[in-house]
Structure 1
Amino acid sequence: MNMPKSALMIVDVQLAPFIWAQYGGKELYQAQELLHHIQSLIQKARSAGSPVIYMQHTEDGESPHGLGQPLWQIHPEVAPQEGDLTMVKYHADPFLRTELHVKLQELGITRLIITGVQTEYCVDSTCRAANSLGYTNVLVADGHSTFDSENLTAQQIIDHHNKVLGSQFAELRRTEEVLF
């Protein structure tokens, strides 16, 4: 049985969430562990010859998250290499008003390995939208993160989304279990 053609999708792993605490914001939950897991996934994907796709959340105007701004850049510990696909997005759903679906079809991708930031926003939207478009999804259960909210800890948010997304929208796998 042939494995579906897979791609690693790295969602919004940009500098801003990793340094927000230095500017009075909240600490990204298990940030260093997240980077370590993504590095491992990138190595697995490249070793298997699978595409690595970076999505970059972008805002209009003079925002610190604006196109080309320093905080908008991909975190240097998981930076793209030549041949990786990097796409700008303006919505939580990376397929909305982007060429992502077309590019994935051109590459023959049918299976997405999803990792990134922020669990309850762009990671959730990516899983749901990709599922609606017919992709087989693997959500890396220890490969996404968020911040504590007013009501829930980051770990509670992650656990909840793993349960919900894993029940219908994605298969859950820990980093060490992911195969390309």
Structure 2
Amino acid sequence: MKKALLVIDVQNGMYEVGNVVHNGGKLLVNVKSLIEKARSTDIPIFFIQHNAPPGKPLEYGKKGWEIHPEIAPEDQDIIIQKTTPDSFLHTSLDQELKRYDITHLVITGIQTEACVDTTCRRAFSMDYKVTLASDAHSTWDSDEITAQQIINHHNKVLRWFADVYPSKDIAFTDL
């Protein structure tokens, strides 16, 4: 089973002063660790980059739109542009995964209840095996519940669609 790492929307705009994603520093550490593990075993890395309209934090072509420098892509990495929470909808992701014969996705990124959730469910429905890194996705507090509660809830709910493990327990050689 050929694997790939998906890093969804870890962009500068998610780290704006006064509105940093929950546990943003820890998220970067965990995503970077998974990137290093993937690179050390020649696992393809797909960076999913959200393109927002003018005036939004992830506005296409602006500083906030750029992938966070702590996890900057390298030449061999694939960057997929998207405009919806679904990393597959109106993108080349499925085509690129098939080109590399990928059948198993390890998913990380932002925003837990939107892009991460939607991509996990969609990948599952497209017959990909999915692993969600339980400590390598994040969001913000809502008016009703905290970011950590949203993350915990999704780690439980997404078990219907993915194997859910902390990043330290994800080894690309024996998933």
Q: Shorter-chain TM-score: what band? A: over 0.9
Matches within 5 A, 1:1-180: 4-21=1-18, 26-61=19-54, 63-166=56-159, 168-180=160-172
| Cα shift at 1:60 | 3.3
| Cα shift at 1:63 | 4.2
| Counterpart amino acid of residue 108 in structure 1 | D
* Cα distance between partner residues in 2 of 1:175 and 1:98: 27
- Unaligned 5+ segments in structure 2 are none
| Cα shift at 1:79 | 0.6
Residue 29 of structure 1 aligns to a residue whose secondary structure is coil
TM-score (norm 2): 0.95
Is the CA contact (8 Å cut-off) linking 2:11 and 2:58 kept in structure 1?
no
Residue by residue over 1:133-153, the C-alpha shift from the partner in whole angstroms, topping out at 9 and shown as x without a partner, is: 000000000010111110101
Moved more, 58-67 or 142-151: 58-67
| Cα shift at 1:20 | 4.7
* Cα distance between partner residues in 2 of 1:60 and 1:160: 30
Residue by residue over 1:26-45, the C-alpha shift from the partner in whole angstroms, topping out at 9 and shown as x without a partner, is: 34111110000011000000
Residue 134 of structure 2 aligns to a residue whose secondary structure is strand
* Cα distance between partner residues in 1 of 2:78 and 2:133: 20
**Identity of aligned pairs, percent?**
44
* Cα distance between partner residues in 2 of 1:52 and 1:82: 11
Is the CA contact (8 Å cut-off) linking 2:14 and 2:57 kept in structure 1?
no
Residue 140 of structure 1 aligns to a residue whose secondary structure is strand
| Counterpart amino acid of residue 144 in structure 2 | N
Residue 88 of structure 1 aligns to a residue whose secondary structure is strand
Residue 114 of structure 1 aligns to a residue whose secondary structure is strand
- Unaligned 5+ segments in structure 1 are none
| Counterpart amino acid of residue 5 in structure 1 | K
* Cα distance between partner residues in 1 of 2:70 and 2:20: 18
Residue by residue over 1:151-177, the C-alpha shift from the partner in whole angstroms, topping out at 9 and shown as x without a partner, is: 1011100000000001x1100011111
* Count of residue pairs the alignment pairs up: 172
| Cα shift at 1:61 | 4.2
RMSD (Å), alpha carbons:
1.1
